[in-house]
Amino acid sequence: MATIDLTVARSRDVAGVRRRIVGQYTGPASYVAGGDALLATELGLGTIEFLSFENAVNATPVNRLLTYDHANEKVVWVIPNTGAEVAGAVDLSGFSARFEAIGL
């Protein structure tokens, strides 16, 4: 399971009825093909309307792209030069990326 750190930003931002959350996402020790579950409640939201990630990098530095599958509530990891999803059981715990989430 991935790690979510919401302490990287000073506070939550509210615009109208929507809330904006900035945090740090660290990959799971064993990625599950099809995506890593990320529920709105883990971010302190009722629903996620928008979720954007920076490129995830490790110490090498190697990049991975992250996208959010809203229908299945999962973060999908992609290899940039091939466009293929990262294989199942791969250790991504050395990768991290900042994110911005907007929701209710």
Q: Where are the domains of the chain?
A: 3-103
Cβ neighbours around 13 below 10 Å, total: 13
Alpha-carbon distance values, 25 to 48, 74, 82 (Å): 15, 13, 23
- CATH code of the region 3-103: 2.60.40
Taking the C-alpha atoms of residue 49 and residue 101, their distance in angstroms, rounded to an integer, is: 8
Taking the C-alpha atoms of residue 103 and residue 13, their distance in angstroms, rounded to an integer, is: 11
Q: Give pLDDT, residue 10.
A: 64
Over 80: is that where the pLDDT of 100 sits?
yes
Confirm whether pTM is higher than 0.75. yes
Taking the C-alpha atoms of residue 47 and residue 28, their distance in angstroms, rounded to an integer, is: 22
What would the pLDDT profile of 24-64 be if each residue is shown by its tens digit? 999 999 999 999 999 999 999 999 999 999 999 999 999 99
